[in-house]
Amino acid sequence: MGSNGIRRYGLYIGGRWVAAAGAEVFPVHNPATGEVVGEVADARAADAVQAVTAAVEAFPAWAARPAKERSEVLRRAYDLMLAHRDELAELMTREQGKPLEEARGEVQYAADFVLWNSEEAKRVYGETIPASHADKRLLALRQPVGVVAAITPWNFPAAMITRKIGPALAAGCTVIVKPAEQTPLTACRLAELFAEAGLPAGALNVVPTTRPEEVADALLADTRVRKLTFTGSTGVGKILMRKAADTVKRVSLELGGHAPFLVFDDADVERAAREVAASKFRNAGQTCVCTNRVYVHERIADAFTAALADVVRGLKVGNGLEPGVQIGPLIDGQAADKVERHVRDALAKGARLALGGQRRSDSARGVHFFEPTILCNVTDDMVIMQEETFGPVVPVQVFRTEEEAVAKANRTPYGLAAYLYTRDLSRAIRVSEQLEYGIVGVNDGLPSVAQAPFGGFKESGIGREGGKYGMEEYLEIKYVSIRL
């Protein structure tokens, strides 16, 4: 920590904080105020290669450590994260903007992935397989994949990292994390806490950079890196998947979403409105599982929209460090431009503004807020019904039949999260089964937890994070045939 409250970090390679090869650094800004809150080393390709070397050197010893010992290190890391919960939360709010209460929630959520995987580390079982010959014994072993490159986004500066390093380190892999350029401070602070927990040098390396493509290219071209795990946009995910193909790396991708929320006519409209708001406005709408489209049955459309407006009207917008604030800033001007474009397009095509709609930008300081917004009379041709908005805007469209609602929900290349609200059990089961989504929340706008599988169908990704499924992504299966 600098004297003026500015955090300074180098690159974390091989257990040491080092300057970048080019000696360059870059500032980290608070999106709520524009203030500089940190300064970190700016990695180049050469630094990425150094980090790979450190991870390669650390791998054999870490993989060979008894699972119980790896488990204990992760358990201590979990304890340290919770012991520093307030500090980590404040750091996250300062570099990312989410309200402090949400940041505290993220620290718990992020730490839960470390705890779950510390427990799961002890349960990486193999199998014996019945042989066809009396003199043979067949074994299936599970071994760590090797060195992992993890590229993470800014919207959950802690959790998107622990979801990856939790299972990777538990499995015995070593990791290079390239955090998002907007939020490298949380990543660096986590590296310090994991070191304090006893993680050996080189098992976790962190290389912040303003040149993500250059650093990612170096990581992906390196044959020593055996796996890529990425959370971010579908566009970048596709590029990385193509590049990973050259060295046939294992790939896990958590990409964009376009979550529908279906509200059926038997729903309790007030409760449904609260769930929609919870799912939509978390992190100012900047999550890949945020509701992006609401489809409500025509019979309850007016009552539901009024109930939603009542919930949303009370949401306080502002600096996430101030008490009571529920909607923080958008991450940057581009994000605000996109939200504004979606709202304008909808209004131009006949949508009605039921609430909000205004952008509040101070471009000189790089500060961008957007009022929580509800759009009614929305139709399929509006951009907001086709693209991920990543902002606090909820478009509401009316439907008449269950078949129509499901067809509309599925009419997208995305397949991450979908939600429905109904009190009819048969409908809940029928619709959940028909939705082409990796995650379905039934009467539940916030389904994600460390012990459950999180991931997408279709262009929303490959692989799962969370629970026993998350660990599988970091394990290879080895078949051993023994003749006696």
Residues near ligand ADP, by CB under 6 A: 151-154, 178, 180-181, 212-213, 216, 232-233, 236, 239-240
CB of 299 to ligand ADP, least distance (A): 38
Of 144 and 232, nearer to ligand ADP (C-beta) is: 232
> Least distance from C-beta 285 to ligand ADP, angstroms?
13
CB 164 within 8 A of CB 148: yes
Backbone phi, psi, residue 40, to 5° = -130, 160
Q: CA-CA distance, 269 to 301, in Å (whole number)?
A: 9
The token pair at 138 is 């067949």
State the nearest-atom distance from the C-beta of 215 to ligand ADP, in Å: 7
Q: Please give the DSSP secondary-structure letter assigned to residue 336.
A: H
**What is the four-CA torsion angle of 477, 478, 483, 484, rounded to 10 degrees?**
-80
Of 265, 222, 271, the C-alpha closest to 244 is 222
Q: Which is nearer to ligand ADP, 181 or 270 (CB)?
A: 181
When the beta carbons of 150 and 396 are compared against ligand ADP, the nearer one is 150
Answer yes or no: 254 catalytic: yes
Minimal distance, residue 51 CB to ligand ADP, in Å: 15
95, 102, 120, 254: the active-site residue: 254
User: Which residue number places its CB atom closest to ligand ADP?
Assistant: 232
290 flagged as catalytic: no
Q: Among residues 187 and 431, whose Cβ is nearest to ligand ADP?
A: 187
- Whole-angstrom Cα distance, residue 248 to residue 368? 41
Pick 93 or 231: Cβ nearer ligand ADP: 231
Q: Which is nearer to ligand ADP, 180 or 416 (CB)?
A: 180
Q: Minimum distance from CB of 146 to ligand ADP (Å)?
A: 20
- The catalytic residue among 288, 376, 402, 473 is 288
CA distances from 21 to 10, 46, 47, 479 (A): 11, 7, 6, 42
DSSP 48: H
DSSP states of 383-422 as a string?
Answer: GGGTS---SSEEEEEEESSHHHHHHHHH-SSEESEEEEE-
Q: How far is the CB of 484 from ligand ADP (least distance, A)?
A: 50
Give the closest residue to 378 by CA, choosing from 357, 337, 349, 403: 349
What's the CA gap between 441 and 417, in Å, rounded? 8
Encoded tokens for 370: 């957007």
Query: 456 vs 467, which CB is nearer to ligand ADP?
Result: 456
> Which residue blocks in 65-181 are alpha helix, DSSP H?
67-83, 85-96, 100-120, 159-171
Rounded to whole angstroms, the Cα distance separating 58 from 195 reads: 13
From CA 422, how far away is CA 127, in angstroms rounded?
A: 43
Instruction: Choose between 181 and 265: whose C-beta lies nearer to ligand ADP.
Output: 181
Do residues 282 and 290 make contact, with C-beta atoms less than 8 angstroms apart? Answer: yes
Give residue 238's Cα distance to chain centre.
17
Q: 312: which residues sit within 8 A by CB, 6+ positions away? A: 277, 281, 355, 356, 372, 374, 394
Cα 30 from chain centroid (whole Å): 20
Q: What is the DSSP string of 294-309?
A: EEEEGGGHHHHHHHHH
Report the catalytic residues. 254, 288
